[in-house]
Each structure stands twice: as C-alpha cells, then as structure tokens.
Amino acid sequence: MKNVGSNAVQTIVEARQSGGRYKTLDDFCERVDLNAVNRRVIESLIKAGAMDAFPGSRAQKMAIIDEAMETGQRARKDRESGQAGLFGELMGGDDSSAPPRTFPNVPEWDSRASLRGEKETIGYYVTGHPLDEYRWKVKELSTHDSESLSGVVRGAEVTICGVLTENREEAQ
C-alpha cells in the first residue's frame, strides 16, 4: 500500500495484538506509535478503505486526522507517564465511558472519489469500479471483456470498454 511501509505495518499489528481490535480512529491513534504511523500512513489507510469499520465516513475521518493524532499522542504520553485520563484507568479500564466523538459535517465523498483513493493507494478498486454505473452501456457496446480475450483468434475484430488512465503521444 502506498505510503504504508513495513515499520508502520509492524507497529499497527503489534498494537492490535496487545490491545485487541481498534474501535475508532481515536483508539487507533492512541495505541499505535505515531512516530512510525504518521499522517500520510493514516491518510492512505483511510483512502484504501482500511478504516471503513470505524465510525464516520472517509471524508469525516480525513477531516479529524490531526485532532485524533494529537488526542492519541497526549493520551499515550499520559498513560506512559503513569497519569490516567478523566475517563481512563481511574474508572477501571478503557475509555469506553468517554463521550463518543462528534464528527464535522463535511460532504461525503462520492463513489468516484472513494474509488480514486483506493486506486491511488493500493493500485486497484475494492468497493466498485468506475464503469459500474455504465454497466448497461458497456454490455451493449462490448463484444468481449478482458477475461475472454485469450480465446480470440488473431486478427479478429474486438470491442472492449475500459478506463483510460494515461495517454501518451509518441513523437514521429
């Protein structure tokens, strides 16, 4: 995944193994080492859909990254120095009695923006395809798809539909 190195992955996995599943972006930011898991890593995880199980839309999570990182870092430092937060260890456990985060009212990403983020970070689409809304037209215009091209006789006429990602003109 783009911007997510092995050190960040190791840090994320270790924190999950020692503390269980992450519940929210704030929980994630509190438990991982933010020296290894920086803002770019978190952005990439959100764009790829790796944090879709957490509350809030992708756009809302992107909007609170800095705040979640600051809150998480402060809580981690307090815990490491032996201090407990208002709702934390003094109450006997995790911060589950803390009020839930309120998310900013930001427009949700449309499906194209979500797909673009997935393609950018992991190299392929996960939650759909840019041509999904045109499936009927693709079916009408295409004679083949990429999976059925291997059986085509050389020189046969073929019509396929796809998404153009780059256009290069060769100098003559």
pLDDT class for 24, splitting at 50, 70, 90?
Answer: very high
Q: What is the pLDDT of residues 74-121, one digit of tens each?
A: 888 887 787 765 555 444 445 555 567 889 999 999 999 999 999 999
Instruction: Report the alpha-carbon distance of residue 52 to residue 58 in Å, rounded.
Output: 7
Six token digits for residue 98: 């803390």
**Average pLDDT, integer, range 134-158:** 88
Residue 112: HSE in the Cβ half-sphere, 13 Å Cα cutoff: 4
Instruction: Report the alpha-carbon distance of residue 31 to residue 54 in Å, rounded.
Output: 15
**Nearest Cα residue to 46 out of 19, 31, 34, 64:** 64
pLDDT class for 51, splitting at 50, 70, 90?
Answer: very high
Q: Please, what is the average pLDDT of the chain?
A: 87
Q: How many residues does the chain have?
A: 172
Q: What percent of the chain has pLDDT over 90?
A: 59
Q: What does the pLDDT read at residue 21? A: 96
More confident residue, 100 or 157: 157
**What is the pTM (predicted TM-score) of this model?**
0.78
Instruction: Report the alpha-carbon distance of residue 62 to residue 104 in Å, rounded.
Output: 10
